Amino acid sequence: MFEAALANGAERPLIYYFDGVLTMRDVDERANALAKVLMDNGIAFGDRVAIFTQNNPAFVIGLIATWKVGGIGVPINPMYTARELTFSLIDTGARALVVLDSLYDDVARGVVESGETDVEVVVTTSADDWRGSAKSTAAQHDAYQLTELPGAARIGTGKLKPHDPAVLMYTSGTTGVPKATINTHSNFTAGAEYYRRWMELDADDVVLGLTPLFHITGLIGHVALSLRLGAPLILTHRFSVDGMLDAIRLRRPTFVIGTISALVALADASSPADFSSIRRLGSGGAAISPRLAGKIEAAVGQPLTVVYGLTETTSPALATPLGTPIPVDSESGALSIGVPVYDTVVRIVDELGADVGAGEIGELAISGPQVAAGYWQQPEATGESFPDAELRTGDVGFVDADGWTFLIDRKKDMITSAGYKVWPREVEEVLYRHPDVAEAAVVGVPDDVRGESVTAFVALEPGRRADADALMAYAREQLAAYKRPRRIVLTGALPKTSSGKILRRVLRDSEIR
């Protein structure tokens, strides 16, 4: 995709970074220089290159340079500690590391110098690199500096084949130890193409990089899409409401997809004029309630497209069609997650993998060109989750008689209380309808009598004063006795992954302790 974008307009902007601009040619030249360094240090076809940055131009440059040498990119969460970074580098066998200089000083240097990993070459970058008016503050290291690499002859990506791994993307880890998903170049291209066609985008659009690039929504809905369109991508190092609004006002994006938490934060701090350039709006990364969807739509002035996908589906697998009202399930109050995107088959299956009928609850199973090749060096987990190349998502839902898919919950999060089955999301959707509730998460806590006790964690809207008793009374009016929370805990904020998914596991563990 990058080769095509470069051929179609080498002088077109590819990255807007604060007041700095990198054209297609600029990115290509920096990627050539980095690829030359990688090859000079023995990095070859199939080797892994870890990218440990925020939403910086170095992420895109590092990824393209990796592909130029036939390597596999390993995006790593910049919030990782030394222990977590060590695990990722050892797990993937990464031999090179492209890293933000502050992260090198604070986290990565000790990991590399420990000798526990296979990392042989380190290239650093600064948050100020390519900012335009800002002077680079790159620290001096015993490592290569990305902006100081000498120019090199052009290196193409022609040696790559569609089935070759493009990236090893870690799952969000909401249920345990993360696994590295093998997303191939054909997966990567399919995901980008789905966004292009479904959202009706072209080279004149401008993509807002709202979501972290190390997350699958950011990687595909920002980086891959921008490369596929040959359109500019706006990056702001890391998310802050003021910084993102400044970028929106300066660069006037036309397409944005982000997590609910980020979109709501922008909606709360913006004016209608801020979003006047937006013509396509999407949410991804986590389920969204009808109330929050309405709030975001009102702020942006555009209908919301709900996108459902996973790391294992290289982002989009289902989405709500443009211009079509999104139905709400009358029982759970949940918004539909849409219908399958192009060339994608979604089945609702029982425990044996057999199809269930319309309206019956089962596990979502997905097949299509975006479904990943499996998990890195985990054949048993791959066989379990990808039987016959069909992904068993672990998400539970149903398809109604009109073909709309509704997500009920994660299979592993179902609560069994006094013999009754309780889906946390149904209880959460009820709590979200209360005007004082900003966020809600429901978990099952071990209970000697019931087996599990339904427990809700709630964060209130700013300035609202509902107490646990008032919320309990509200739940009694809306839910059958066995579904009602036995306990409601008011908290300032709920723990989340970088993609905005609430970490029920962390809440459950906090109650057990």
Tell me, what's the pLDDT at 175? Answer: 46
Amino acid at 221: G
- Give yes or no for residue 449 having a pLDDT over 80: no
Query: Which strands make up the sheet holding 391-399, listed edge to edge?
Result: 345-349, 362-367, 391-399, 405-410
Tell me, what's the pLDDT at 478? Answer: 85
The domain over range 21-160 is classified in CATH as 3.40.50.980: yes
157, 342, 213, 492 alpha-carbon torsion, rounded to 10°: -170
- CB of 24 closer than 8 Å to CB of 49: no
- Residue that wins the pLDDT comparison between 486 and 417: 486
> Band of the pLDDT at 135, cuts 50, 70, 90?
low
| CB atoms near residue 345 (< 10 Å) | 12
- Residue that wins the pLDDT comparison between 141 and 348: 348
Question: Sign (positive/negative) of CA torsion 302, 304, 310, 316?
Answer: negative
- Give yes or no for residue 118 having a pLDDT over 70: yes
Tell me, what's the pLDDT at 140? Answer: 55
User: Which pair of structure tokens corresponds to residue 92?
Assistant: 């993937």
How close are the terminal C-alpha atoms of the chain, in Å? 49
Tell me the mean pLDDT in the region 158-168. 94
Tell me, what's the pLDDT at 513? Answer: 63
Q: What is the pLDDT of residues 226-264, one digit of tens each?
A: 999 999 999 999 999 999 999 999 999 999 999 888 898
Instruction: Give the percent of the chain with pLDDT over 90.
Output: 73
65, 68, 73, 78 alpha-carbon torsion, rounded to 10°: 0
> Band of the pLDDT at 451, cuts 50, 70, 90?
confident
| CB atoms near residue 19 (< 10 Å) | 13
- Give yes or no for residue 348 having a pLDDT over 90: yes
Tell me, what's the pLDDT at 95? Answer: 98
The full set of domain ranges for the chain reads 21-160, 414-512
Whole-model pTM?
0.85
Across the chain, mean pLDDT equals: 92
Nearest to 264 by CA among 238, 235, 237, 289: 289
Q: How far apart are CA 459 and CA 471, in angstroms?
A: 12
Q: How far apart are CA 391 and CA 20, in angstroms?
A: 41
- Give yes or no for residue 179 having a pLDDT over 80: yes
Instruction: Give the percent of the chain with pLDDT over 70.
Output: 96
> Band of the pLDDT at 177, cuts 50, 70, 90?
low
Tell me, what's the pLDDT at 422? Answer: 85
Fold assignment, 414-512: GMP Synthetase; Chain A, domain 3 (3.30.300)
